[in-house]
Structure 1
């Protein structure tokens, strides 16, 4: 029987324990798997790989035996499907040492090492943002915080990280055969930021206030100028002048001079106040708060290195996207 049961430590009654892949599998299912396995081996020897693969996979549906995984891995490697081959060889070794014949176990480990060095690449990412969903090539990978690694086919892959309230990070990652791309994903909150041209928001309004104060001062001066002018007119041309006749004291014209001075100051205040109001209005407009989205959209930095340690390993290259 090619799908043999390998030796295991004996129980107290002298009977060897059943391997874990035997547990829960009825005898008829084991026999059906053995039959399909033998048919697959015949096709395998004849290099009819597609049909041999189908037989092995059907046999696995009846009985997930580690030796079947090794044979399926062989077919997948010859069919140019390195990733599937690696996964099946890994499944064959999951039961630990002794699950396979020594030569099959050594073959499986050697084949896995060869696949990693020559035909596969590795992506290893870390995301410390709690609740962030990380996707690889559009398929869910893991949820942060945490770090995961995955073997992939060489070429360009797309890493995506998203979380509600944060910018979605989408970055291409190109990896070569035998290389490991490792890095950290960083998300940035999708927030609106309000910015002013000047930090002192009161300054433009102070200019507006100064313009209003100058306008008010001009109005007061204009009122005083009119009052002084009217007083001078009453003194010089009113009934009081006619009553005193030649005995009236001569006027030095100071009331008129004061009126003209105040009127000039009022005009100057109006001009300066108007200019200040216009300038202040422009400054208020220029300093009006303007919301914008932050330019920090998150990032991922990828470092390329050999997928496995080797004495001939070259220098690592850091690439920022």
Structure 2
């Protein structure tokens, strides 16, 4: 940015802003008045006078004010045309030149007052009193939005580090082309405008949410739906949009000199930004409950088999009349005890698994949470040129 300010300082020095820009607009020619000679004097001219009149060359009209004397002719107020004296016969009225475009709708009184303020601002600008000069130019612009006033105000603002306002007034100075300005001043204004645009950043903001208020660094820009495109200083900026019934959106962007950033703001309701998630996969609690139920079912089958072994053992003891059980009967008893113990363990583990699955089902209910609006935005690509030092290129920034 220091390098940009230095470039502006050198440019201002080259421009020599102390003299107001002479505006070469054609001045309205005053109607020619014909003065008749007194009665009886016609035809009494002496021969020597007639000869002297024939020998004397015609004197050209006096030149207008020089460009070094402020203000220029194009800034002079439009004076009303005086009526001609009565003649016999009356001459046709002279043709009135069309009003200059930058003077349309401005009364001669306002033009004269603006002219006085313009001259006062020029004197202050020559003495390097830039703040006071800019105040005089602003007062003049309230009366007459003349390109020359915009031009000189831009010169004063260059020394006050106001690049945005400088660009705005340079655009106003160039509005009517080179006619209200000198060709040289017109070219200077156009070159400085291009120089400032390279040192600033351009921001394009779009918001399609009806009724939303869009702000840039806390200052309102427009009411959506709409779009804003303008120059801003390089650096960090805050973009925000708000509307009743919607969640506000705030974006922080850091812009580089010469960068063009495209930003789309969209407001969402709470429902649009609400998502749901579970602690576990939806099938996990049911799998645990199913495993517990299957284990309990297997335990019931082992319990039935254990009872069958106990019944066979009882029948064998009854058949032998209470004898010592032989080995096959003892084996039936041992198998019955083993299956019965396994069934009891299976009942315990299966029941615990089933209860655990039921608890997990209760804990695994969907839980709402809010996502960031930037997660719904599409990636944005900004492209800016890189110039300088006999080289050039293009810089692309991808933002997610």
TM-score, length of structure 2 as denominator length = 0.57
Within the alignment, does 1:36 sit opposite 2:131 as a pair? no
Aligned to 1:270: 347
**Structure 2 counterpart SS, 1:125:** strand
Q: Unaligned 5+ residue runs, structure 2? A: 1-70, 79-93, 322-327
Structure 1: runs of 5+ lacking an equivalent: 7-12, 238-245, 247-251
Alignment match of 2:221 (pick from 110, 123, 141): 141
Shifted more, 100-109 versus 182-191: the winner is 182-191
Distance apart, 1:89 and its partner CA? 1.6
1:212-265, Cα deviation, whole Å (9 max, x unpaired): 576588789979999x999x99xx99xxxxxxxx9xxxxx99x99998688557
Contact 1:122-1:149 within 8 A present in 2 as well: no
CA 1:305 to 1:261, structure 2 compared with 1: closer, same or farther past 3 Å?
A: closer
Query: What's the counterpart of residue 90 of structure 2?
Result: none
In 2, Cα distance between equivalents of 1:205 and 1:102: 85
Q: Are residues 1:112 and 2:226 paired?
A: no
Q: Tell me the residue number matched to 1:284.
A: 361
2:235 maps to 1:156 = yes
248, 260, 275: which one aligns with 1:193: 275
TM superposition shift of 1:158: 1.0
Deviation, 1:191, is 1.7
Q: Which moved more, 1:25-34 or 1:260-269?
A: 260-269
Q: What is the correspondence of 1:223-262 to structure 2 with a 5 Å cutoff?
A: none
Residues 301 and 71 from structure 1, CA distance in 2 versus in 1: closer, same or farther, beyond 3 angstroms? Answer: same
Inter-partner Cα distance in structure 1 for 2:267 and 2:119 = 57
* CA–CA separation in structure 2 for the residues paired with 1:304 and 1:140: 26
Q: Give the structure, 1 or 2, with the largest relative contact order (CA under 8 Å, sep 6 or more).
A: 1
Deviations 1:123-174 (A, max 9, x none): 2334365346543222233456665432223x41313143554562321313
Give the CA deviation at 1:28.
Answer: 1.6
Structure 2 match to 1:242: none
Which deviates the most, 54-63 or 206-215?
206-215
Matched, 1:49 2:130: yes
Moved more, 257-266 or 102-111: 257-266
Could you say which residue in structure 2 is the equivalent of 1:315?
393
Aligned-partner Cα distance in 2 for 1:149–1:313? 29
Contact 2:273 2:373 in 1 (8 A): no
User: Are the equivalent residues in 1 in contact too, given 2:260–2:382 (CA < 8 A)?
Assistant: yes
Task: Please name the residue that 1:9 is paired with.
Answer: none
SS in 2 for 1:316: strand
State the shift of 1:38 in Å: 1.6
Larger Rg: 2
Change (3 A) 1:313 1:181: farther
| 1:314 match: secondary structure | strand
Q: How many corresponding residue pairs?
A: 298
* Structure 1 residues 317 and 88, CA gap change in structure 2 (3 angstroms): same
CA RMSD of aligned residues (A): 4.5
